[in-house]
Amino acid sequence: MNRARAAAWTVNGLLAVLALVTLFPLLWMLSVSLMPQGSASTFPPPLLPAHPTLANYRTLFVAADLGRYLLNSLIVSGGITLGALVCNLLAGYAFAKLRFAGRDRVFGLLLAALVIPSQVAMMPLFLLVRELHIVDSYAGVILPALASIFGIYLVRQYARAIPDEMLEAARIDGAGELRIFLRVVLPLLKPIILTLTILTFLTAWNDFMWPLIVLTGNHHFTLPIALASLAREHNPDVEMLMAGSVVTVVPVLLLFLLLQRYYIQGLLLGSVKR
Amino acid sequence: MRPGRRIAGWVFIAPALIVIGVFFLLPVLLAVGLSLTDFDIYALASLRNLQFVGLDNYLAVLRMGLFWRALGNTLYFVVVGVPLSIGAALGAALLVHSRLARCRGFFRVALFTPVVTNLIAVAVIWKYLFQTRYGIVNFVLGRFGVHPVDWLGDPHMAMPTIILFALWKNFGYAMIIVLAGLQAIPDELYEAARLDGASAWRQLRHITLPLLGPTLMTVGLLTMVGYFQLFAEPYVMTEGGPLQSTLSVLYLMYNQGFDWWNLGLASAIAFVLFVFTLAATGLLVRAGRRKGWV
């Protein structure tokens, strides 16, 4: 075997091993979620269910109220995504293309605030949310996430490429600014809208610390919070936890696979300057 | 210019500014004030129990043994975890980018997948994979004659296990950015080097790595800032134990703030962590500047 072939084997072999390492825990999760209760905790540990069953999922949805948590996650992530789209698209476009007094100073201030980690705000935010009587409600999770500096930055970077002549032409035709935004600008922003949608939805779906703080009773728990509280119980049931994990992981994984080009685009735009 | 145009800009940014102002900038300012008070569970009941205490909270943090323990744990996680994650990302990116690699699209997605999984769910999975008696990891190691390791139950092993988990979860993020950096390096440079008879290793050292420097710097900084905020991993996998060996600064802040309702002290912890994060970022940027990477 010559050297070039040996090198090709090494590269592809290493890649295969890496992919096995990244995917194995997820495949194991899926497999254990289909095992009857108690059968994963045996020695040697089984890789595949001897008798696959959906019993864990049935128990979770019927007895453990998983359907409610799934719905909560959808409501919270969906609400945040819709609101963030409106706020960030409007603001990002305005910072890129509209001229108004104080524009650059305000934008500079926002960029500077990006270095402040969110936990600094959490204690006063909790008190504020308490004053507004929205502790332990959807609003308590959704409202603080309705706009993000990063999202505005992302839209601004993209919107800067819109030619001014196009906007001027629409103005000469007598169109108002809102009309121009809706009719001319939004169609041009389609790729960044998809990027913003998937980034926001995934971030909201996976967010943990703030929902953990603000959701004090289990009525409004999102999936990650419910899963963490299940996992921290004394002696939880592995097979059931894995079924819960599947429900938490798979929806966003599918969304990512569907829109991965836009997701990665967002990551790259975001890494240039944060 | 019609009057509508001049105010349109402010109208457009108003919704976002209100949300960010009310739910982020205002709380940040309030946090400064809060950290200078003895806000605790009694103040939560009635603000009349609130007192201004100056820098007492900061002094209390610096005198708290548990804070230094948590800071030590966090620094351990950052100092070991960041280089490992960036190293793995670089290695994986070079492999995926290699002209010899097949099914690049598949590998790129497969290696990136952990990044988009839910942290809590995969932390739970890892907890069981690394379980002492029935876990697959110990089973496989047992085949090679290694005695069962108490991964998350041994104070010396718990943090390394969490670092390993963070590596698995996060290297794909840096990999994607490094891959984009690799694609930006012109092919001609490599062709010229090959004509000069440079080996693959020398091409890597003298072309790839120097040109990739700024990219590695960026992902290093982003990863570091993220790693300073270690919280959910120990919350789910170890609850900060055993013997506080995985208690992070953010976990301590959460404990103080939302288990004990010492919101004043918790705010001080948040600012101290912020200062340490800034200092570490500054150090890294300075090191990068010396190499011309920033």
Residue from A223, A177, A255, A189 nearest A61 by CA:
A223
Interface test with A, best of B128, B130, B141, B267 (most A CBs within 10 A): B128
Interface test with A, best of B13, B18, B57, B254 (most A CBs within 10 A): B13
Q: Is any Cβ of chain A less than 8 angstroms from the Cβ of B222?
A: yes
Residue from A202, A249, A200, A213 nearest A80 by CA:
A200
pLDDT digit string, tens, across residues B189-246: 998 998 988 888 899 999 999 999 999 999 999 999 999 999 999 999 999 989 999 9
**B249: in domain:** yes
| Residue B3 scores a pLDDT above 80 | no
Count of domains for chain B: 1
The first and second tokens of residue A25, run together, are: 């825990």
d(C-alpha B19, C-alpha B17), whole Å: 5
Smallest Cα distance from A149 to chain B, Å: 8
**For B34-63, what is the mean pLDDT?**
94
Interface test with B, best of A31, A114, A120, A256 (most B CBs within 10 A): A120
The first and second tokens of residue B7, run together, are: 């105010």
Residue from A161, A43, A20 nearest B148 by CA:
A43
pLDDT digit string, tens, across residues A199-251: 999 999 999 999 999 999 889 999 999 999 999 887 788 999 999 999 999 99
Task: Supply the DSSP string of B176-194, one letter for each residue.
Answer: HHHHHHHHTS-HHHHHHHH
Look up tokens 């779906």; give the residue. Answer: A205
**B26: in domain:** no
What residue numbers bound the domain in which A110 lies? 55-272
**A35: in domain:** no
Rounded to the nearest angstrom, the gap between the alpha carbon of residue B137 and the centroid of all alpha carbons in its chain is 25
CATH number for the domain that contains residue B119: 1.10.3720.10
Residue from B46, B47, B80 nearest B166 by CA:
B80
Smallest Cα distance from B12 to chain A, Å: 5
**For B252-280, what is the mean pLDDT?**
97
| Residue A45 scores a pLDDT above 90 | no
Residues of chain A with C-beta less than 8 angstroms from the C-beta of B167: none
**A28: in domain:** no
d(C-alpha A239, C-alpha A224), whole Å: 17
Smallest Cα distance from A163 to chain B, Å: 17
All residues at 6 or more sequence positions from A165 whose CB lies less than 8 Å from its CB, including other chains? none
d(C-alpha A41, C-alpha A270), whole Å: 43
Q: Is any Cβ of chain A less than 8 angstroms from the Cβ of B5?
A: yes
Smallest Cα distance from A78 to chain B, Å: 17
Give residue A267's identity as a one-letter amino acid code: L
pLDDT digit string, tens, across residues A73-94: 999 999 999 999 999 999 999 9
Chain B residues 100-119 within an 8 A CB cutoff of chain A: 100-102, 106-107, 109-114, 116-119
Look up tokens 């952990």; give the residue. Answer: B114
**B38: in domain:** no
Count of domains for chain A: 1
Q: Where are the alpha helices (DSSP H) in chain A?
A: 3-33, 55-62, 66-97, 103-113, 119-131, 138-142, 149-159, 164-172, 177-180, 186-188, 190-206, 209-214, 223-231, 238-258, 260-272
| Residue A273 scores a pLDDT above 60 | no
**A123: in domain:** yes
**B124: in domain:** yes
CB B95 within 8 A of CB A15: yes
CATH number for the domain that contains residue A196: 1.10.3720.10
Contacts of B77-81 with CB under 8 Å at 24 or more apart are B77/B159, B77/B162, B77/B163, B77/B166, B77/B227, B77/B230, B77/B248, B78/B224, B78/B227, B78/B228, B78/B280, B80/B160, B80/B163, B81/B163, B81/B166, B81/B167, B81/B227
Task: Supply the DSSP string of A208-260, one letter for each residue.
Answer: -HHHHHH--SGGG--HHHHHHHHHTSSS--HHHHHHHHHHHHHHHHHHHHHTH
pLDDT digit string, tens, across residues A152-177: 999 999 999 999 999 999 999 988 99
Nearest to B263 among A123, A143, A245 (CB): A123
Residue from A242, A204, A213 nearest A81 by CA:
A204
**For B9-18, what is the mean pLDDT?**
96
Interface test with A, best of B120, B143, B212, B281 (most A CBs within 10 A): B120
Give residue B199's identity as a one-letter amino acid code: S
Residue from A123, A114, A73 nearest B20 by CA:
A114
What residue numbers bound the domain in which B207 lies? 58-290
pLDDT digit string, tens, across residues B114-167: 999 999 999 999 999 999 988 999 999 999 999 999 999 999 999 999 999 999
Residue from A156, A147, A142 nearest A86 by CA:
A147
Residue from B75, B29, B64 nearest B279 by CA:
B75
Cβ separation of A209 and B232 shorter than 8 Å?
A: yes
**A20: in domain:** no
Cβ separation of A231 and B10 shorter than 8 Å?
A: no
Cis peptide before A191 (omega within 30 of 0): no
Residues of chain B with C-beta less than 8 angstroms from the C-beta of A115: 278
The pLDDT of residue A267: 87
d(C-alpha A14, C-alpha A53), whole Å: 35
Chain B residues 117-136 within an 8 A CB cutoff of chain A: 117-122, 124-129, 133-136
All residues at 6 or more sequence positions from B203 whose CB lies less than 8 Å from its CB, including other chains? B190, B193, B194
Smallest Cα distance from B20 to chain A, Å: 6
**A139: in domain:** yes
Q: Is any Cβ of chain A less than 8 angstroms from the Cβ of B139?
A: yes
Cβ separation of A19 and B96 shorter than 8 Å?
A: no
d(C-alpha A136, C-alpha A251), whole Å: 24
Smallest Cα distance from A125 to chain B, Å: 5
Taking CA atoms, B287 is separated from B70, B220, B284, B290, in Å, by 26, 12, 5, 5
d(C-alpha B209, C-alpha A11), whole Å: 19
The first and second tokens of residue A125, run together, are: 């935010």
**A90: in domain:** yes
Q: Is any Cβ of chain A less than 8 angstroms from the Cβ of B30?
A: yes
Residue B52: strand, helix, or coil: strand
**A249: in domain:** yes
d(C-alpha B80, C-alpha A77), whole Å: 34
**A147: in domain:** yes
Burial of A228 per CB tally in 10 Å (0-12, 13-18, 19+):
buried
Q: Is any Cβ of chain A less than 8 angstroms from the Cβ of B1?
A: no
Q: Is any Cβ of chain A less than 8 angstroms from the Cβ of B98?
A: yes
The pLDDT of residue A274: 40
**B30: in domain:** no
d(C-alpha A189, C-alpha A182), whole Å: 10
Cβ separation of A268 and B117 shorter than 8 Å?
A: no
Smallest Cα distance from A54 to chain B, Å: 19
- What is the percentage of chain B residues whose pLDDT exceeds 70? 98
